Amino acid sequence: MKVYISIDMEGVSGVVHNEHTSERGFDYDLARRLMMGEANAAVEGAVAAGATEVLVSDSHGGNGARNLLIDTLHQAADLVTGFPRPLGQLAGLDAYYVVLLLVGYHTRSNAAGVINHTVHGRAINRLTIGGRELGEIGINALLAAQVGVPVGLVTGDELTCAEALDLLPGLETATVKWAVDRYAARCLSPRQAQATIRAAAERAVRGARSLKPFAPKHPAAWEIQYKDSGMAEVASQVPGTTMVQDDTIAYEAPDASTGFKTFTAALAVAAATLVR
Ligand SMILES: [Zn+2]
């Protein structure tokens, strides 16, 4: 039984600031150890539930998605690390996995929550797919659904868990911190957070066969509002996209993975304007 664990950093207990999530941050070394602890807790839960193969994805963009410390990785798991890569936070996911666990995740842009954003906080203001505003939980649920894999667990702050339950009723959640502000939270101790994640991951894998993948909802219109009009202007050079507002592009995607490819290409050229 194959289990896929994608772990981001903003939703890890103790992480509340760019000083944690950036490789140049004062607290980055602490944060990556905390992230590794939560990843291993999820692996332990999956193995306890009978997983025979576990793939962990380092899904945080900081340091080029090379945040996890492989020298302390649980021996039952392999690690996908580094960037860029196809499918982003789900690199290597295919139809042979029984369930996807999203650990250390965060709320979408335009929603409250600790370090909320959608994929790129300085470039993307809003993403809607089929008329619904989605963040990283929603994007990954759609990509996984295309290969028939359900999301079984989301962990992070309490608002992230609520966003997940709103999109995917019936999945397991594990709250490891409570948002006080975008840059402040009441946090569980790492030991307690990891115990909570371990138990939730075990429940999620045991219950995986009764979960249904997110409805694919494609073909669908993808609409991306950027932080400024200059980003939209260069993003609209990607074939198949059109500008629909001064700061917004749109395109029709036949399926989630094609929509995500266009999203990724458009983001790369849009974000390139940040260094000017
Ligand atoms: Zn992240």
**Cα of 217 to ligand 1 centre, how many Å?**
25
* Predicted local distance difference test score (pLDDT) of residue 24: 97
Q: What is the pTM of this model?
A: 0.98
**Cα of 115 to ligand 1 centre, how many Å?**
9
Q: Is the pLDDT confidence value at 1 over 70?
A: yes
Q: What is the mean pLDDT of residues 1-19?
A: 98
Residues with CB under 5 A from ligand 1 (ion): 8-10, 60
**Cα of 62 to ligand 1 centre, how many Å?**
7
Q: Is the pLDDT confidence value at 213 over 90?
A: no
Q: Which amino acid is at 202?
A: E
What's the pLDDT band for 35 if we cut at 50, 70, 90? very high
* Predicted local distance difference test score (pLDDT) of residue 5: 98
* Predicted local distance difference test score (pLDDT) of residue 276: 66
Retrieve residue 31's tokens: 């944060």
Encode pLDDT of 172-200 as tens digits. Answer: 999 999 999 999 999 999 999 999 999 99
* Predicted local distance difference test score (pLDDT) of residue 9: 98
Encode pLDDT of 116-174 as tens digits. Answer: 999 999 999 999 999 999 999 999 999 999 999 999 999 999 999 999 999 999 999 99
Q: Is the pLDDT confidence value at 96 over 80?
A: yes
**Cα of 234 to ligand 1 centre, how many Å?**
24
